[in-house]
Structure 1
Amino acid sequence: MAPRGPAPGGSGPLVRPDGAGRRGRYGVRRGRPRRSAAQRAHLRSAGDVLEDNPVGKLKVFIYDLPRKYNKKMVTKDPRCLNHMFAAEIFMHRFLLSSAVRTLKPKEADWFYTPVYTTCDLTPAGLPLPFKSPRVMRSSIQYISNKWPFWNRTDGADHFFVVPHDFGACFHYQEEKAIERGILPLLRRATLVQTFGQENHVCLKEGSIIIPPFAPPQKMQAHLIPPDTPRSIFVYFRGLFYDTGNDPEGGYYARGVRASLWENFKNNHLFDISTDHPATYYEDMQRAVFCLCPLGWAPWSPRLVEAVVFGCIPVIIADDIVLPFADAIPWEEIGIFVEEKDVPKLDTILTSMPIEDILRKQRLLANPSMKQAMLFPQPAQPRDAFHQILNGLARKLPHPEGVYLPPGEKHLNWTAGPVGDLKPW
């Protein structure tokens, strides 16, 4: 069971390089989440997480699928429970015992299909992308044949959790994901996904962007005293080049990570490396800034880890749409750096006024900020599960136009790549 009490992470005393109190000159706002005036008005004060109570506002009917679509996959390969795509599994478990669940489909506001599309893994532990769309398509065929509810809206009152790199485009490489596009059968459904980027074919209007899964119990076990000095200025661990999938270089992370390495590998303010030490979580708690650059996709678990450990996230992914951007004040807790400005990153960060850094650290210390990024077991108030429910509740009531006249269809069941049409 997950430890009770405040979510992990704190903000120890700040240690900064000399002369770091000058005001910055460079624009660092591209890609920041946009919040309307109405949404801002919901916030009680600067830095708060928007709080709604979804219980009583919506009812969710869970389709009873054969185990081959979900639980049998986890039994076959339990690694699914610990990787960054595991939100699809834990969301299913949460809903099974949630107060929003209804056993009466006629009173449901939403229909949920518990299909795990990231749990058929390679020996290296990565989802098999060519299997995922076939699994999803098969599950939709199953529910549309057994129940009448899909057919009356073509899925417009259904939601699916699709935590792939590029959501329901079902591929980890952006070029191929764009070529594929969103699985045609999902184009009327609401997608709950980790991928978010403005004006991208793999993000449809109305999707709910969620954080990737990061294990709360594991992070809790690595907490250090909250008054530990933050003696590392900039911290990053991860790949700079992916020679296996991008042998010529330049395509992976749109060259951002390569630029980070080439520009700052010898800069004493930057603790960056491909090594992943046993003290990774402890090091993040000793750092002022944690780099969150794009990889194959714009997102990664680093964003969750940074928030949980009170390390100011430096988000380098143009036009990214961040998790729960209508509820979490990302502009106030993070720093946004355009990809083209990576060579200036040292100047950008050392030019930040000390008062701005301290303010971001204070906001990150808010337990509700951390809780909103986590999928704890058991669930807790205001956690990521409840943020998803909030997002679904805000979409109600469904417009009358979602209900189709009898016999009318909007979806083409034979559309998409030939490989996706193979039986699963």
Structure 2
Amino acid sequence: MRRLTRFSREATRCFFHVAPVALVFSSIVVFLVYAPATTLHLRQLNSDADPLQDPSPPPVNGSLSSTVLAAPPPSSPAEVEGIPVRAAVDPRAGGGRVKKSSVFLDGDLFLEDYQEMNRSLKIFVYPHRRNESFAHALLPGYFFKTLVRSHFITDDPSEADFFFLPFSITALRNDPKVSVGGIPDFVQRYVSEIRRRYPFWDSSGGADHFYVACHSTGRSAMSKTPEVTVNAIQVVCSASYFLPGYVAHKDVSMPQIWPRKGAPPEVRSTQRSKLAFFAGAMNSRVRQQLLVSWVNDSEIFVNRGRLPTPYSEALLSSKFCLHAKGFEVNTARIGDAVFYGCVPVVLADQYELPFSDILDWRRFAVVVATHFQWHLPARDYDVFHMVMYELWRRRGAVSLPLPATAADA
């Protein structure tokens, strides 16, 4: 395989060449380049702002204006080199709407269905004590906090479209009373308890129930509750067809993007000295080949182990960031790249990108849409509302009953 040693000025004007890796690994079927987040930063209210100020649903306009370039993707970042990416964003767009012809698979259908979802969707959260190991860890906790302060919540289970299981896999993992090994038993007891106390699980077989699991431990958390894996909806941060328990079209892939304070750094493409960057454990053939091919390259920086400089500096100095599958695709790293304006390049087999049944990822060019932002309170079309819409699309799911077990007798 030819070793890529230099890139001419013309080469840097082309989207990133992946031939060296593609020739060796034909199994890489997903090659995605999507835009940096210096185009749209994650706006967040001050930490002392009250997210309960207005629990009513925000108004939804009848049309979607533009926060994303509607033109076809440019052939390279060089086409926008030297231009602060915010200049490409329509300043009149209020941060919550995108042009429906730009990134949606079907913009008209999405808008109509989204409006109905925003008016009608109701979610019942199973009651829990504040001192339980529920909903207070990282992204699942942020999702939970946003959900319970939203207008989707109902105290009347008879009008609920979905039922939320408010346990946090990450919190359980870090709870000394539970720990990793005890999570399957905890989930089994929890599901048995809500089935004993409430009729809602058995009425649907769990098909209208969902939970959030962003930690990799979530893959084994349901090992003693197959009815949860088969029927309930998982909202996960790493959605691979090869992961045990993940069911495409039933489960939901959520982008692992953290809320951040302040604007992202403004570093122009011409100020980034590296063409591409990768750092991480060499725990897959793809990653190992990256190291073999480019360990001594002057323009592509591939590092194993601890970086000699802060991770943020490496992202800020690179035009492209390689995200090669290890044990799984780390979507938190993708979120970091988006924030620091390093164009992510995802190299992974059978990886379901967030909202892939709604958004046309091929149209993502220079600007990342607002669907990849968190807000408190939640705003239309942000990450939280897009997850709500994914659930809304699954409200007609039909479950198949599992064979009776001795525990059911």
Give the TM-score of the pair, scaled to structure 2: 0.67
Aligned residue among 231, 235, 253 for 1:192: 235
Taking the aligned partners of 2:233 and 2:297, their CA distance within structure 1 comes to 45
Letter in 2 for 1:311: C
Aligned residue among 49, 52, 55 for 2:118: 55
Taking the aligned partners of 2:139 and 2:167, their CA distance within structure 1 comes to 12
Q: Is the CA contact 2:238–2:331 (under 8 Å) kept in the aligned structure 1?
A: no
1:97/1:224 Cα in 2 relative to 1: closer, same or farther (>3 Å)? Answer: same
Q: How does 1:73-88 map to 2 (within 5 A)?
A: 74=136, 80=137, 86-88=138-140
Residue equivalent to 2:353: 322
Q: Is residue 144 of structure 1 aligned with residue 195 of structure 2?
A: yes
RMSD: 3.5
Deviation string 1:140-181 (CA, Å, 9 cap, x unpaired) is: 12211111111111211111112232744349xxxxxxxx69
Q: Is the CA contact 1:284–1:309 (under 8 Å) kept in the aligned structure 2?
A: yes
Letter in 1 for 2:297: N
Q: How does 1:303-322 map to 2 (within 5 A)?
A: 303-322=334-353
Q: Structure 1: 5+ residue runs without aligned partners?
A: 1-15, 34-41, 75-79, 81-85, 172-179, 241-251, 334-359, 416-424
Taking the aligned partners of 1:182 and 1:392, their CA distance within structure 2 comes to 21
1:128/1:324 Cα in 2 relative to 1: closer, same or farther (>3 Å)? Answer: farther
Taking the aligned partners of 1:187 and 1:319, their CA distance within structure 2 comes to 20
Residue equivalent to 1:259: 289
Q: Is residue 281 of structure 1 aligned with residue 312 of structure 2?
A: yes
Taking the aligned partners of 1:379 and 1:270, their CA distance within structure 2 comes to 39
Residue equivalent to 2:251: 207
Q: Is the CA contact 2:320–2:345 (under 8 Å) kept in the aligned structure 1?
A: yes
1:110/1:46 Cα in 2 relative to 1: closer, same or farther (>3 Å)? Answer: same
Residue equivalent to 1:395: 394
Give the TM-score of the pair, scaled to structure 1: 0.65
1:138/1:43 Cα in 2 relative to 1: closer, same or farther (>3 Å)? Answer: farther
Residue 302 of structure 1 and its aligned partner are, at CA, apart by: 1.5
1:143/1:278 Cα in 2 relative to 1: closer, same or farther (>3 Å)? Answer: farther
SS in 2 for 1:119: helix
Residue equivalent to 2:186: 135
Q: Structure 2: 5+ residue runs without aligned partners?
A: 1-6, 33-97
Q: Is the CA contact 1:87–1:163 (under 8 Å) kept in the aligned structure 2?
A: yes
Deviation string 1:90-114 (CA, Å, 9 cap, x unpaired) is: 1111111111111100000000010
Taking the aligned partners of 1:43 and 1:413, their CA distance within structure 2 comes to 51
Residue 134 of structure 1 and its aligned partner are, at CA, apart by: 2.2
Overall identity of the aligned pairs, in %: 23
Taking the aligned partners of 1:182 and 1:223, their CA distance within structure 2 comes to 45
Q: Is the CA contact 1:213–1:374 (under 8 Å) kept in the aligned structure 2?
A: yes
Taking the aligned partners of 2:210 and 2:9, their CA distance within structure 1 comes to 51
Letter in 2 for 1:87: L
Taking the aligned partners of 2:132 and 2:324, their CA distance within structure 1 comes to 33
1:313/1:225 Cα in 2 relative to 1: closer, same or farther (>3 Å)? Answer: closer
Letter in 1 for 2:393: R
Letter in 1 for 2:126: Y
Residue equivalent to 1:100: 152
Q: Is the CA contact 1:290–1:306 (under 8 Å) kept in the aligned structure 2?
A: yes
Taking the aligned partners of 1:233 and 1:17, their CA distance within structure 2 comes to 11
Taking the aligned partners of 1:163 and 1:412, their CA distance within structure 2 comes to 30
Taking the aligned partners of 1:202 and 1:56, their CA distance within structure 2 comes to 32
Residue equivalent to 1:295: 326
Letter in 2 for 1:65: H
Q: How does 1:371-390 map to 2 (within 5 A)?
A: 371-390=370-389
Residue equivalent to 2:220: 169
Taking the aligned partners of 1:226 and 1:189, their CA distance within structure 2 comes to 44
Deviation string 1:1-23 (CA, Å, 9 cap, x unpaired) is: xxxxxxxxxxxxxxx74340568
Taking the aligned partners of 1:226 and 1:412, their CA distance within structure 2 comes to 61
Q: How does 1:107-122 map to 2 (within 5 A)?
A: 107-121=159-173
1:121/1:129 Cα in 2 relative to 1: closer, same or farther (>3 Å)? Answer: closer
1:142/1:46 Cα in 2 relative to 1: closer, same or farther (>3 Å)? Answer: same
1:413/1:25 Cα in 2 relative to 1: closer, same or farther (>3 Å)? Answer: same
Taking the aligned partners of 1:131 and 1:216, their CA distance within structure 2 comes to 33
Residue 383 of structure 1 and its aligned partner are, at CA, apart by: 1.9
Taking the aligned partners of 1:235 and 1:268, their CA distance within structure 2 comes to 11
Aligned residue among 237, 260, 265 for 1:223: 265
Residue 271 of structure 1 and its aligned partner are, at CA, apart by: 2.0
SS in 2 for 1:98: coil
Deviation string 1:195-228 (CA, Å, 9 cap, x unpaired) is: 32236543114111112243423xx465235577
Residue 230 of structure 1 and its aligned partner are, at CA, apart by: 2.7
Letter in 2 for 1:292: H
Aligned residue among 124, 127, 147 for 1:64: 127
1:386/1:411 Cα in 2 relative to 1: closer, same or farther (>3 Å)? Answer: farther
Deviates more, 1:290-299 or 1:372-381: 372-381
Q: Is the CA contact 2:205–2:227 (under 8 Å) kept in the aligned structure 1?
A: no
Residue equivalent to 1:38: none
Residue 411 of structure 1 and its aligned partner are, at CA, apart by: 5.8
1:200/1:119 Cα in 2 relative to 1: closer, same or farther (>3 Å)? Answer: closer
